[in-house]
Structure formats: structure tokens, C-alpha cells
Structure 1
């Protein structure tokens, strides 16, 4: 409830306050929250930690700890948003980190950052051995989006399923034997930078790259495996200094759908912004999706199985069905798009307000997303549709406004409040049954303490919801918030009990 805060014992901690322009130096420290214990869960509960001075301090600092989870938190304007460089097995989940002057996130050993947004800084994410960055949107880094294994002695770092946009360098690799797979790296000066002699044995596959330079090598990196990527760049390979070592640019020809939809996996799809790339102009007489001749970049670096575009240069047709250029009286909870292609659509992505992207799924008629929730204010969306040949098309921007009348707000709050009221009552019965079973099976004291803490928080929120009368009869924003929190706390407690019960022998 108060900051700064230092966690020195294992347990489940929930942040109950947000701070703006917070100055840790007023308290003689350099952080908002410091974790100095293992086996800790910190749930930010969607609160924000905002610093007064972006040149100083840490939002979250994890020191010499193991098995720590930090989730559901917004951090802004720190020197470093989250730092766990000296710790192991730290998971960062569902964070939004922005405008941190030095680095947005530093991961220690065998750690994970997932399902997050990292925006508007100098360095995005830096990792140590065994760490994974996945399912994360990284945008507007003046230096590097992801520094993967950021020293030459680090190994086994992974970047998978990320979107990295508008960073000078998309991914920088200093260590070895890592994996860069299924990422979208766009609008970078250099997409992937191999930086140091330790950058060797890395596998770079199934990425979509659009950059001035696709790959840059500095400091004598060793051999890496680069195959089954879409590479759309003015320059493919650059050695800035140090010896040139051979890069393996294809794998063995294997039956399977390659990244541009061909029937064999082999090398890469080599495109140029002006449409004159090798894969766009090569001959494929036997129609196997592999160019008939190898692509010789230089005497050391040859793609022996470059992918052939097979003549498909037609981008998809894409149109936004919903929302439109108008004013809506309810929150936008879905996006609907019509996208067609002469071959096959590979993916459809919506860019919302220039802040985040969401993926749309084909429902048999339209490409839709039903998990989004766009509230009051002025907004815009743009849709990008990709086909299997690597062609992309986008819509014009659609601007719209959400203005919810007071009567609708009241009706929405009543519906939502009653919804959480019913869910809480039903869940409470399940919780009581699980709790009794767990006691009979000898639940350990640490897990029991987490459960009881969450149950106590749920009961307190339930009481607060009913302080001013019946929240399911009179519209009350605070009552809705309290009931929702009560349900979420109880749900977390029930989940812990269920995990304990399922771990016990039947």
C-alpha cells in the first residue's frame, strides 16, 4: 500500500496503489520496489509506477533471488524499468514498460519476459544465459530492441513470436547457441546484429525482416544458421569490422511448408524493396518452390536452396468492416475485417492507436478479434494483411470516437456488477470445498498462507462493495471495482488450491 517497498520474505504480494512522479531519493533509496527474496509473486494489479526522474533508479529491482514472478504492471520514466540481472528464474508477464532512459528491462539467468509491451526508449530488453523474450511488442528504441545474450560468454538465449518495430537495431546477439524464431522485425537500420566473437551457433529462422540492412557482423562472430526467413532489405550482409566467417544460409531440403508457402524448407526468401530480389526474379522450372540456382552473396556465404516466390506478387485485398469512421456509444469490443488473396492469407494484424498490435483470427467469413476493449476517447486503427508469398497490404487509417452516454454507463455497470456478484457467489462455494479438501490432504503452510491472504483481500473488497447499499441495484462504479477485485482475489486463491489438489496423488 505504500512505496518504496522491499520484499524480504517469500510470499504472494499485491500492489494496491499507483504512483506518478515518484521520487525514491526522497526516501534514500533508488527503486520503487525491491525484491530480495526467492519464491515471490508480485501482482501489480494493473497499477502504474511512474518516476519523477527518468535518469535515475529502478521501477522493480530483483537482487540475488530465484523463482520470482512479476505480472500485471505498468512502469514508466525510470532509468531501468525492471532489473533482475543477478537473479535466476524470474518471470515478467503482462508488463507495459515505456520511456525508460537506459534500458526498459534487464533479464537475469533462465528468465522470461512475455505478453508485454516495451516502448519509447534507448535499449529495449537485455538478457543473460537461458533467458527467453516472447510474445512481446517492442517499439521505438533508439539503439536496440532486444539485446540477446548481451555478453560474449552468454549462451542459449531465445527470442520468439515478438514484433520489433522502429528500432535502430532490431536484435543484437553477443552470445551463442540461441534461437531467433517467428519474429517480425521492421523499419530498422539493421534487423539482426551479430556482435562479438561469441555470437556463434545461433539459429535464425522463420522471421519476417524488413530493414535497410538485414544482418550485420562485428567483432568476428562465428558461424550461425540462417534459413527459412523472409528477408526484405536493401543490403543483406555487412561486416563492419573483424574477420568474415561463413554463415550457413540454408538447411537440408525438407518437405514442409516454408515461410512463403512453398512445399519445401531450404534457404531464405531474398527480397528487395524495389521487387528485384533474387527470390523474386529467379527461375523455378520444376515448381518446387526452390530457385534453380544458388544465391551467391559472396565467396563465403551462399544460399544453396533460396526460396522462389513462384510468381505471386499480388498483395492481399483488405477492408475494415468494423469499426468505421463514426462515433460509437459503447466501447469497441471487436474488430472485423474482410481480407482475401489470390493464394492464401497468412496473418492479419490490427494496429491500434499506434500503441499496440492485435492478431485477427478467421471465423469462416471475416478476420476478427473479440478480446479487445477500446474505451472512451478518440482512436484509430489500421489493418495489415500478409499472404504466404510474403506480400503485404494495409488499409487506410480509420478514425473513430467512443462516447458512452451516462445512462448506458449505468446500465453497463449494473450488468457487470451483477455478473461479478454471481461469479463470486458461485466461486465461493467451490473455494470452500477446495479449501476443506486441501486441509485434509495436509496443504503446506506457505501455500496456505498465500490462499488465506488472498481470501482475506477478497472478503475486504466484498465488504467495501456493500458499504453504501446494494451494488446490484444502484449503479456504483466503486462497487463494481470492489466486486471485481473480490472475485479476482478469490479466483487466484481457488487456482492455487486447485494446483495443490491436482498435484496430490489420486
Structure 2
């Protein structure tokens, strides 16, 4: 008998919840109300508002958790009177609307959390979709085109931006400011001033976005601990650009066929660049300017003017396992020292130019090297003419290799060799 009161309370709560669910209604605009805002004002939390095709000249403020579903892509046009649709409550679902505010406001403006913004078309706004101090929202399947910025987050965390088309915006396609722990994936971002722009934003994940054919590609300014993975950032003016940014990971990105450089690091340290393709750029494949302690490994850097270019005190970087081929210059180090460069594959018109003191090999270690030999040592050089005298796959003559005196101080004392005597 002692358990009966608890059971009764549980049943009462269940019936109460059931009653709330049963009380949710569907409101049709313009059948039930001529204006969307009137439908919102006269709704109850949990209701569904279906809006039929047409043009609605109003600015809609959604102040309770509702489902707003457009039928036939109705157009909410604020006609210069603010943002078209504002989400001011949590747990709103907004789907299937065209939204136009004006060039001072947003198509869809979010000041709340846990909302779903899906399959909307936002155009001719200052910002297409804008989130301010908002968290745990999902933005999926929207078209944000012909705005100032396509999708803009400020002070916002833990949002998911996925499978959107973001194009022909006069500013950046997707822009994050002071926003962290967001996920951007599988978005198609093209014909914008810049594809993706992060400023003072950390711990974000950019995965499998197509960020090609923009003026700028993917840019990080004062942004740390981000993961940039398997994005296509090709055919931009510059592909991937870091400025005063540290501890970022760039893996498996395509930074090719741009108007100047593939990947550029300016005043940025402790970043990891691995398995990226930086090819067919008229400037540099990978460029470092005053950038220290970065790891550049297993990248394919080919058919550029310069493969790697380290300048203005870019010191103590590690370059290993890279394929550096068919460039005019494989690697140039200018005013940069104490970089460790080993187990790379160099086959270029001019392989190396180094005016400082850098380290061109590691100590001999039993491990498979980049050309399949049994030992790690130095690098493979297409123009090394020495001979492996003892069959260990490391050259023993004409040491150190200095790229026809392009390496002024020292050189590679353990060049990888395929020539055995």
C-alpha cells in the first residue's frame, strides 16, 4: 500500500503531460489568421502554425516554443522594418520560409537556444541567418544567398550548421565571432567575398565543407584549437589563412588551384598541418611568416612556384613526410632557423634554398622511410648524385647534400638513396 501514492502521482503527471500534448493545435495562415504574428500571439506553446504560400509583409517575433512550417515557401518580407523572423524563445522549429528583412537587419535572427532552422531561403539581408548569444541550435538545409553575410554567429556555442547552400554574399559566407564549440559540416559555400571566417573563435570543427570559388577561402584570425578537416578550399584567391592563431589542426584539406597561396600561416604557432593537398598555386603551396613550432607532415605540395616558403623568423618548425614535387623551388627558408626537415621527398627544378642554420636530417633510426627504405635519416633529393656504400639506403658520398650550394650552412648528412654500390 505504501507504493500507491507514488503510483498515483506518476499517473497524474502522465495524464497532465498527455493533456498538454493533446491540447496542441494546428493554426493555418491565412485561413485562421491573416497575419503570421497574429497566429503566434494567439497560439499556445507546442502549437503548429502552417503558413500557406504568399507574401506576408510583416516582421514576425516568435516568443514561445512553436512549430512554424511554410507550405509552398511563403515569403516573409519585413519591408525595411527590422528582421523578417526573430526567434526569441527556446525550442522553436522554423521550416520552409523565404525571409527578407533589410540591409540593416537579418532574414532570420536568433536570440535563443535549442531551435531547428531548416530548409529556409534567406536573401537580401545584412545577415541571412544570424545567431547572437545562442546555443544548441541546428541550421540545416537552408539557402543563404545574396546577403551581406550568409550565416553569422556571435557569442554563440554548440551550434550545428550542416548541409546549407551559402552563395553570392558580399561578405563572408559563414562567419563566427567570439563563438566556440560549433560544428560546420557539408556546407556548399561559393561565390562569396570569403567562404568561412573565424575571429576570436575556438574549439570549432569545420568538416567536409566545399569552400571553393570564393574570393577568400577559410580564414582564422585570433582563433585557437579549431579542427579543419577534409574541406575543399580550392579556386579561391587564397585557400586557408591563419593569422595569430595557434593549436589548430588542418587535416586532409584541398588547398589547390588558388590565385596565390594554398595554406598560409602568419604569426601563428603550434599548429598541425597533415595530409593536405596544396598544389597548382602560382605563389606558395604552404607559406609561413613569423610562425614557430608548427608541424607540417605528409602533405602533398606540388606544381606551385614554391612548395614550402618559410620567412621572417619562422623557427623551430618540423617538416616530415611531405611530397614536394614539380615546383620551381621545393623549399625556401629565409631568415628562418632551427627548423627540422627530414624524410621528405624533393623532386623539383630547384630543391632547396636556405640561408640560415636548419637541420636537414634526423639521426639514423630503423623505420621505413618515404621511399620505402629501412632507415630514417635525411630527405630524398632528386639531384643527389652520391652513392649508398653499405646498402642501408642512406647516401655515403658527396656529403652533406646542399642542393648545389642552395643550402649555405651544412645540409643533409643522411640523404635517402636509391643508388647502391
CA contact (8 A) 1:159 1:183 kept: yes
2:375 is aligned with 1:227 = no
Higher helix share: 1
Aligned twin of 1:123: 238
Deviations 1:64-123 (A, max 9, x none): 122121111010011110011321111101100111113444362111110211110111
2:193 is aligned with 1:79 = yes
**How far is 1:170 from its partner?**
0.4
Structure 2 distance, partners of 1:113, 1:70, is 10
Following superposition of structure 1 onto structure 2, how do residues 104-115 of structure 1 map, counting pairs within 5 Å? Answer: 104-106=218-220, 108-115=223-230
Structure 1 distance, partners of 2:224, 2:241, is 11
Structure 2 distance, partners of 1:176, 1:104, is 21
**How far is 1:158 from its partner?**
1.3
Aligned twin of 2:332: 216
Aligned twin of 1:200: 315
Aligned twin of 2:400: 295
Give unmatched runs, 5+ long, in structure 1. Answer: 25-29, 272-276, 312-506
- Could you tell me which of 184, 203, 206 is aligned with 1:92? 206
CA contact (8 A) 2:342 2:362 kept: yes
**How far is 1:193 from its partner?**
0.7
Structure 1 distance, partners of 2:139, 2:156, is 16
Deviations 1:195-215 (A, max 9, x none): 212x10000000100111011
Task: Count the aligned residue pairs.
Answer: 285
Structure 2 distance, partners of 1:106, 1:80, is 11
CA contact (8 A) 1:84 1:90 kept: no
Larger radius of gyration between Structure 1 and Structure 2: 2
Secondary structure, aligned partner of 1:120: coil
Superposed CA RMSD:
1.8
Following superposition of structure 1 onto structure 2, how do residues 249-328 of structure 1 map, counting pairs within 5 Å? Answer: 249-271=360-382, 277-278=383-384, 281-293=385-397, 294-297=399-402, 298=405, 299-310=408-419
**How far is 1:12 from its partner?**
3.1
- Could you tell me which of 297, 304, 307 is aligned with 1:191? 307
Segments of 4+ moved more than 6 angstroms = none
2:107 is aligned with 1:7 = no
Deviations 1:357-376 (A, max 9, x none): xxxxxxxxxxxxxxxxxxxx
CA contact (8 A) 2:189 2:212 kept: yes
- Could you tell me which of 289, 292, 297 is aligned with 1:176? 292
Secondary structure, aligned partner of 1:188: coil
CA contact (8 A) 1:223 1:248 kept: yes
Structure 1 distance, partners of 2:218, 2:410, is 35
CA contact (8 A) 1:160 1:180 kept: yes
CA contact (8 A) 1:98 1:104 kept: no
Structure 2 distance, partners of 1:301, 1:70, is 46
